[in-house]
Structure 1
Amino acid sequence: MMTELMENIGFDVLTQTSARILIVEDDRDIASMLIDLMKEGGHIAEAVGSAIEMDRVLSKKEFQLIVLDGMLPGEDGFSICRRIRSSNTIPILMLTALTKEVDRIVGFELGADDYVTKPFNSRELLARVKALLRRSSYAMLTRPTEEPMTFAGWCVDPVARELTDRDGVHVSLTTAEFDVLLVFCRNPRQIMSRQEILVRTHAGSAGPVERSIDVHVSRVRQKIEPNFKDPTFIKTVRLGGYIFTPEVAIAP
């Protein structure tokens, strides 16, 4: 009981801490408005207008979240998202005027943790930012008590938040992808609905839409399945959700 109380207190404190947020937006008026909005939410924010400026700032400072416009001069937001995700697990919220469902799906497939279209509701945007930071903070809080797990030659380390193959090669996962895989490893051979996965990954009501779970699962499959076109580790259960079939054990 005392442990749970301490964890809850620690979690509340952690999620209330100001985060440093980088806004990548070429429209100066929107960028200025977003900076003010993030400050209203208790965060520290700064903005850049291009990929070149973003790279320069990221090389000098650390951020807890990136708000990324999809349509930018030079390298666009989708390309930036894919590039960042290849080597970094920082939460990325794409904020773009591209409203088609296919654009949203592409954003998630490239590694975005959430996707918001313009025009947007300021309260909703702040809620989504808070949800992404909460997920990241929760993962940091719970890491010390977790032990590495293995399945089918793979190793999942919740402390380092790393996935390695049987040869010890690190495989990059987004924050959301790792959370989804971790949920499966903690609940092997159990049918899990999309809503249950959403809740257990701490996305909350303001997190990515339930449909995005399918996107994250698809990306995890591409990275761990012997044949992701015919998955055997993460199987789809009709009208049920998903089931993780491998035997999971604590790593020796």
Structure 2
Amino acid sequence: MVSAVIAVVEDEASLRRDMVEYLRGCGFDAMGAKTGRELNDILAAKPVSVAILDVNLPGEDGFTIAARLRETPGIGVIMVTARGTTVDRVVGLEIGADAYMVKPVEMRELEAQVKSLLRRLESAPAHAPAATAPPAADEEHWTLHSTDWSLTSPGGVRVSLTSTEMKLASLLAAQARQPVSRDQISLALYNRRWDPQDRTIDTVVRRLRNKLEKAIGETPPLKSEHGVGYVFSAPVRTV
């Protein structure tokens, strides 16, 4: 029997090592990564069944990674983090996590969550559609590059992004054509609830929109959704 591949994304080396070793002892093919970029390498090399994600990671955070992984059918997501407020739990589950565990985690409970999630994935219909359909082959799309933090337009113009812009772009790309609330954006970018009196989110979005417009010479598909938040109305591929 082929062992299920489990990716553990945790920047704390000792905890990452402990989880990987424990899961290997349970018979899983467990692999560790400390960033979203290292997770991408694992995803390119092996068919990951479950990704275990910390939230506070360097670069791309766990919420953003979870939203991105939701595009790939058949990969389960378990959040394991010190951020245990009700808001954090709700946002994690809404973005795409299948389970949310608060540190310190009992290893036997983690094992039980992984096994339970694998059973659910195995029993899911094989023809179930992905949450976000990939763009058609002949449809113009944008490309988000997670390795060097850049976004390429359908016309081939590549725009470098800051860390904050990359987090925002990743979140919007994972839910392309679907509105993302200001509350989700605020939690993913700043680890705080959105305050209607705070214009920080709108400022970040406006700067990104202006940067893209200046680079490509036309209005980018980054639009506001009245009363909700923002949406990237064009298809996006993350590589």
Q: CA 1:87 to 1:129, structure 2 compared with 1: closer, same or farther past 3 Å?
A: closer
Moved >6 Å (runs of 4+):
none
Q: Distance in 1 between matches of 2:81 and 2:39?
A: 17
The letter of the residue matching 2:35 is S
The letter of the residue matching 1:117 is V
Q: Distance in 2 between matches of 1:45 and 1:122?
A: 14
Tell me which residue corresponds to 2:52. Answer: 67
Q: Distance in 2 between matches of 1:159 and 1:75?
A: 30
Task: Please tell me whether residue 116 in structure 1 is matched to residue 83 in structure 2.
Answer: no
Q: CA 1:56 to 1:159, structure 2 compared with 1: closer, same or farther past 3 Å?
A: closer
Which of 111, 118, 127 aligns to 1:160? It is 127
Question: 1:54-77 deviations in whole A, cap 9, x for unaligned?
Answer: 112212221111111111001100
Structure 1 unmatched ranges of 5 or more: 1-13, 140-157, 163-169, 174-221, 224-252
Tell me which residue corresponds to 1:34. Answer: 19
Which of 172, 183, 199 aligns to 2:132? It is 172
Q: Distance in 2 between matches of 1:110 and 1:73?
A: 19
Structure 2 unmatched ranges of 5 or more: 134-177, 180-239
Tell me which residue corresponds to 2:63. Answer: 78
Q: Distance in 1 between matches of 2:20 and 2:64?
A: 23
Which of 105, 108, 112 aligns to 1:127? It is 112
Q: CA 1:171 to 1:92, structure 2 compared with 1: closer, same or farther past 3 Å?
A: closer
Q: Distance in 2 between matches of 1:122 and 1:25?
A: 15
Q: Distance in 2 between matches of 1:53 and 1:126?
A: 23
SS in 2 for 1:59: helix
Q: What's the TM-score, normalizing by structure 1? A: 0.50
Q: What's the TM-score, normalizing by structure 2? A: 0.53
Q: CA 1:161 to 1:118, structure 2 compared with 1: closer, same or farther past 3 Å?
A: same
Q: Distance in 1 between matches of 2:56 and 2:70?
A: 18
Q: Distance in 2 between matches of 1:159 and 1:43?
A: 22
Q: Distance in 2 between matches of 1:59 and 1:42?
A: 22
Q: CA 1:171 to 1:100, structure 2 compared with 1: closer, same or farther past 3 Å?
A: closer
Query: Could you tell me how far 1:88 is from its partner in structure 2?
Result: 3.8
Q: CA 1:18 to 1:89, structure 2 compared with 1: closer, same or farther past 3 Å?
A: closer
Q: Distance in 2 between matches of 1:118 and 1:87?
A: 26
Tell me which residue corresponds to 1:56. Answer: 41
SS in 2 for 1:79: helix
SS in 1 for 2:59: coil
Tell me which residue corresponds to 1:106. Answer: 91
Query: Could you tell me how far 1:171 is from its partner in structure 2?
Result: 4.9
SS in 2 for 1:64: strand
Q: CA 1:171 to 1:37, structure 2 compared with 1: closer, same or farther past 3 Å?
A: closer
Partners of 2:6 and 2:29 within 8 A in 1 = yes
Q: Distance in 2 between matches of 1:121 and 1:56?
A: 28
Partners of 2:22 and 2:107 within 8 A in 1 = yes
Q: Distance in 1 between matches of 2:126 and 2:45?
A: 26
Task: Please tell me whether residue 90 in structure 1 is matched to residue 75 in structure 2.
Answer: yes
Q: Distance in 2 between matches of 1:116 and 1:103?
A: 11
RMSD: 2.3
Partners of 2:71 and 2:131 within 8 A in 1 = no
Partners of 2:9 and 2:35 within 8 A in 1 = yes
Tell me which residue corresponds to 1:21. Answer: 6
Task: Summarize the alignment of residues 183-194 of structure 1 with structure 2, pairs less than 5 Å apart.
Answer: none
Q: Distance in 1 between matches of 2:100 and 2:23?
A: 17
The letter of the residue matching 1:133 is L
